[in-house]
Structure 1
C-alpha cells in the first residue's frame, strides 16, 4: 500500500477514490457514501475511527492481479487481464435488446440468474426517483425492477455500498457494476466469507470513466434544459445502438447522439482516478460486457450487440447455462475481437504507466498496481510522441487539479422533488432496498 495512504480519508482527499462504496460496506459505522457534485460518489468519515478494514477492500488505492496465467488466453492476458472465452451476443428478448445498452446482454444475464438460476436478486444501480440525475443502489427481485433500470448510467454510482443486502439475501445474488466495483467485490469477498457465499456471479460493464454529476448537468443544459434538477428522467443510452441520451420534463423530450453526449460533454468530467486506471474492461469480474465497436458506423436505431467475455470458470459456466436456457444469443469470437473492439485501451494502459510515474515523481499520491504489465504497454503500444504527451499532460494536471494537495469531499444533496419527502426528510425505500 502507498505509504501516503493510511486511511479512507486519505484515499478520498488525495483523489484516488473510484467511488465504489466498498468502504461503507466494510465499516458502516465509520464511513458513509455521499454525492460530491464535482467528484462523484465519495466517502465521508463519521468520526475518527480507524478505517484499516475498509482500506483493505479499496480498489482505488491498490489493485493486484492474482489469477492463474495458465488458464487464460495467453495472447491477451498481458494487455486485457484474464480472458477464457469471448463471445458476441445480445438478449434473445428483442424488447430488452432494443431498450438496453449494447444489446442488453447484462440485463439478459441478470434476468437469467434471477428467473432460472436461483439468484436471490440482482444488486445494481438505478436512477433515484426523487433526483433522477443521481444514482442509488438497489437489490431487484423481479423482472420489472431489473428492466426499469436498463440503459447505461454515465453518472457516479457506488453499488458496493449496499453489499450488506447481498450478504443478507436468501440466496446468492447477481452483481452488476463498473470494473472498479467488480474489483472491490473481489477484495471484499476475500475478507468476508459471508459475502463470498452470497455472490452468484459478478458482471462488469466496460467503462471509460465515471463522469461527475456536473457532467450530467452540462449534458442536460446542452439539450436545452435550463434547470437540470427539474427533469423527470435521464437516460444516457439504449433504445437503439449506441442509443441517444435523453432528458424528459413533463411532455417535453430532448436528446443528443452518443457522440454529442459522451464525446463532447461527459468525458470532460471524468475524474483523475479514472484516468490512471488500467482496467476499463472488468478484469476482476466473472463476466464483462461492452460494445463491439469493430462494427464501425452504426445506423440509427440499430439493435444492439455486446462483446461478452468470460473471465473465470464461474463466468464460463454461467454463460453456458444462460445460453442453453435461451436467455441470449451468443456467437464465438477470437482473441482479435477484443483488440479490434477497443483498440485505444492498449494505448490507455501504456499511458497509465507514464501518468502514475510522473505523478509520483511530482509528489502526488498514486495507486499501487501489480500484474497489469503497464510498463510493457508503455513500451509496445505508445509512440515517443504519445509517451511525451502522457508526461507533459500529467505535469499539467498535477498543478491544475491540485493533485499534491488534499481535496475535501463536499456533500451534495439537492432539494428533493417530492413534497412528501421534503416534509419528512425521508425517502421511501426503493424496490428491493429492504431485506425480507
Structure 2
C-alpha cells in the first residue's frame, strides 16, 4: 500500500519474476469493490434503525472512565478505553490500529499496540489516508485474539478477509469502527500545513486533527530556524470545515457505510449536543452480541461510563447520513450507466433514502452532478499508482502498476 497524494492509500501491484502478481485474492477482500450483510439479524436489532443504520442491538452514550483517555480521544475516548480493557483485562494480545508516522507525521502508519502508552500516543482522529488491513498478518501471528480499530471500510475489508481465512477469523477478537464522513487525501493535510505557514515538510514535528477536548483543535507543530517549536492551531470548523473535507476521496462519495455496519462495536460523535467546554462524549453502538458483551463487561469493570439512550439519538447525532446514503444511490447509478465501477453494498438499502430524504435539487446533484464529476475528475481514466518520494516507504518507481 502506498500513498498517492491526491487519491489516498492505494495498492501497488508488485511484479514477481517479471510478471504482475495475481491480484484475484486481494480483489476478493477489497472493500472498494463492495461488502455487506450476508444476513442481517432478524431478532434483537432495533427495528427503526435497521434500514438506514444497519444492525444495532443496543445504543449508549458516554465516555472513557479514565479522564486522560477521555480528554485525549476525539469524542469520549471509548474506542481506546474499550480496546485497552480488552488487552489488559480480557487476555487479548494487542490492538491493530493507525497512528502518525514518526518520520513523516503528516502521514499515517499501521501499528500493533499492546500497552496503554502505545494506545495513548495514537489517540485522536486521523483525517488522512490509512490502511490498517495491510497488517492483518500481525493479528494472525499473535498468540491470542486481537482488537482491530478502523474506519467502516477497513472493518468491511477485514470481514471479507476473515471469511476466506479461518485463522484470521479466529484471531479477530473484537472489531471497533469509527464513524466516518469520508477520508481526505494527503493533499488536504498538506494544505492545512501550508495554512499554518509551514513550507518545509521536514520541519513538521506533529499533526493532530482532533482531541484534547470535544471536538478539539487541529494542530500543526513545526521546528523554526532557531529550533524552537511552533504550534499553529485550527478550530474544527477551520480545519475540517474549511480545508480537509474538500479533499475527500471519490471512493468516499460512493460509500453507503459511514457508521461501521460490519463491526462488533461502532463509535461516533453525538453531534446533537452543543460542542465546546466538554471533555468529550461518544455514541456507542453494539452491532453484534460479541460487541454488546464486550461493552457491558467494560462498563462493569469501570473502564467505560455509559448510559443507554433512545434509538432516535443516532439519527439526531448524524443528521446528514441518511441523505448521504441516498446520494450514493444516485452517484452509483450514474457510474454504472457510464460503464464505470462503483462499490456494491449488500443489505444497505439506499434508493428509499434517495427518494425520501433528498430534495429535487439534491436528486439532480447526485445524478447530473456525477456526470460532470466523471469528466472533471477523470473517473474513467486509470490512475498510475507510484510511491511519492519521502512520503512513502514503497518500492522505487518502475515496480508498480
Please give the range of the TM-score, normalised by the shorter of the 2 chains: over 0.9
Whether 1:328 and 2:296 are equivalent positions in the alignment is no
1:63 match: 35
1:46 match: 14
1:253 match: 231
Supply the distance in 1 between the matched residues of 2:101 and 2:85 (Cα, whole angstroms): 25
The alpha-carbon deviation at position 363 of structure 1 amounts to 2.7
2:226 match: none
Supply the distance in 2 between the matched residues of 1:247 and 1:81 (Cα, whole angstroms): 36
- TM-score, normalised to structure 2, is 0.93
- TM-score, normalised to structure 1, is 0.86
Q: Please, which of 267, 270, 288 is the counterpart of residue 312 of structure 1?
A: 288
In the comparison of the two structures, how many residue pairs are matched?
A: 384
The alpha-carbon deviation at position 229 of structure 1 amounts to 4.0
- 1:90 alignment partner, SS class: strand
Query: Equivalences for 1:380-419 in 2 at 5 Å?
Result: 380-414=356-390
2:54 match: 81
1:180-200 Cα deviation digits (max 9, x unpaired): 001111111111010111111
The alpha-carbon deviation at position 415 of structure 1 amounts to 6.7
1:352 match: 328
The answer on whether the counterparts of 1:35 and 1:413 sit within 8 Å (CA) in structure 2 is no
Whether 1:289 and 2:261 are equivalent positions in the alignment is no
Supply the distance in 2 between the matched residues of 1:120 and 1:387 (Cα, whole angstroms): 48
Query: Equivalences for 1:83-102 in 2 at 5 Å?
Result: 83-102=56-75
2:5 match: 37
1:207 match: 180
The alpha-carbon deviation at position 252 of structure 1 amounts to 1.0
Structure 1 unaligned runs (5+)?
Answer: 1-32, 426-436
1:365 match: 341
Whether 1:110 and 2:86 are equivalent positions in the alignment is no
The answer on whether the counterparts of 2:144 and 2:171 sit within 8 Å (CA) in structure 1 is yes
Query: Equivalences for 1:188-267 in 2 at 5 Å?
Result: 188-250=161-223, 251-267=229-245
The alpha-carbon deviation at position 254 of structure 1 amounts to 0.6
Supply the distance in 1 between the matched residues of 2:150 and 2:323 (Cα, whole angstroms): 24
Q: Please, which of 250, 253, 275 is the counterpart of residue 272 of structure 1?
A: 250
The answer on whether the counterparts of 1:364 and 1:398 sit within 8 Å (CA) in structure 2 is no
Structure 2 unaligned runs (5+)?
Answer: 224-228, 397-401
The alpha-carbon deviation at position 292 of structure 1 amounts to 0.2
1:262-287 Cα deviation digits (max 9, x unpaired): 01111111111100000001111000
Supply the distance in 2 between the matched residues of 1:169 and 1:63 (Cα, whole angstroms): 26
1:150-198 Cα deviation digits (max 9, x unpaired): 1111011000000000100011011100000011111111110101111
